[in-house]
Amino acid sequence: MLIDLHTHSRVSDGTQTPTDLVASAAQAQLDVVGLTDHDTTDGWAEATQAASGTGVAVVLGTEVSARTRGISVHLLSYLQDPTHPALVAELERIRTARLTRARRMVELLAEDYDLSWDDVVAQTQPGTTVGRPHIADALVVAGVVPDRSAAFARLLVVRSRYYVPHYAPDVFDAIAAVRAAGGVPVLAHPGAEERGRVVPDDTIEAMAAAGLAGLEVHHRDNPPAQVVRLSALAARLGLLTTGSSDYHGAGKPNRMGENVTDPAVFDAIEAQGVTAVVRS
């Protein structure tokens, strides 16, 4: 089985609709694909409908923005109850903060570049929460940078003068909210050194004690030394280890199925979640 548990649609910062994303999963010969848009479940209904007849099972999830010890972290939540009040409220707060942050970043960029808020909104779909990837797309259209990667490396990176932080819950609160909603929390790309500081072992140990289910070990942003470290840590703590592409369509070079999850791990995630895997 080919199981890729981390992808994004246009509902957050991918470039495909949920329907097209599921079709791409079928074309890539995946057996299982996880839809994990940032801080939202708005793509779930469309992905569920799109799965019919494709032969692809869809794991519904969310990538939750969080922080710990001054480090920005992402928590993958799988198969949670999308109507759970506490988690719904937290995700709404995060999305609102993202939007406020994006507006301020555009204001700062507009001081030096020919860029407007309307230019950024033009890169989204109705219902999309505007974020840095959409600002990057607008910068590409304006001819400021050649692609998204260049925009992040030059203008949208944390050390840039245009960067503005946004609210994100403490990761321990995020884990508690995901578990309260019946979801399965997995720490996304925890060894991604190029993105900034990584979460240290003692914090991951505390997260495991608080209900963390697993680590996304096999991801293109985790270098080999981090894969070794995270695999050993997961084994010691009894955590699941996943592999995923973090596919964003044309928004990133990541390709579906470039990293995959063991079927036994998928079964363990399915057994813990309260929302059923969508099977066509």
- Domain count for the chain, please give it: 2
Task: Tell me the torsion sign for CA atoms 234, 64, 26, 16.
Answer: negative
Based on the fold, state whether residues 60 and 188 are members of the same structural domain.
yes
Coil vs helix vs strand at 67:
strand
- From CA 173, how far away is CA 269, in angstroms rounded? 20
Global confidence as pTM? 0.92
Coil vs helix vs strand at 42:
coil
- For position 252, what pLDDT does the model report? 87
- For position 32, what pLDDT does the model report? 98
CA 30 to chain centre: 19
- For position 56, what pLDDT does the model report? 98
Based on the fold, state whether residues 20 and 73 are members of the same structural domain.
yes
Nearest to 246 by CA among 201, 196, 186, 172: 186
- From CA 26, how far away is CA 50, in angstroms rounded? 11
Based on the fold, state whether residues 268 and 204 are members of the same structural domain.
yes
Which residue, of 126, 156, 186, is where some domain finishes? 156
- For position 228, what pLDDT does the model report? 98
- From CA 28, how far away is CA 90, in angstroms rounded? 34
User: Which tens digits make up the pLDDT trace of 41-78?
Assistant: 999 999 999 999 999 999 999 999 999 999 999 999 99
- From CA 173, how far away is CA 177, in angstroms rounded? 6
- For position 136, what pLDDT does the model report? 96
Please indicate, yes or no, if residue 164 is contained in any of the structural domains.
no
Based on the fold, state whether residues 58 and 177 are members of the same structural domain.
yes
- From CA 243, how far away is CA 198, in angstroms rounded? 18
- From CA 137, how far away is CA 144, in angstroms rounded? 10
Structure tokens at 199: 């979460």
* Nearest 10 degrees: Cα torsion 105, 107, 112, 117: 90
Residue with token string 């996880």: 34
Based on the fold, state whether residues 268 and 233 are members of the same structural domain.
yes
Please indicate, yes or no, if residue 87 is contained in any of the structural domains.
no
- For position 240, what pLDDT does the model report? 98
Please identify every stretch of the chain with a pLDDT value under 50, giving residue numbers as ranges. none
- For position 194, what pLDDT does the model report? 86
Give the CATH number, domain containing residue 105. Answer: 1.10.150.650
Number of CB atoms found within 10 A of residue 146's CB = 10
- For position 207, what pLDDT does the model report? 98
Structure tokens at 77: 């939540």
Please, what is the Cα angle at 175 between 74 and 166, to 5 degrees? 45
Based on the fold, state whether residues 56 and 127 are members of the same structural domain.
no
C-beta separation of 171 from 207 below 8 A: yes
CA gyration radius for the chain? Answer: 18
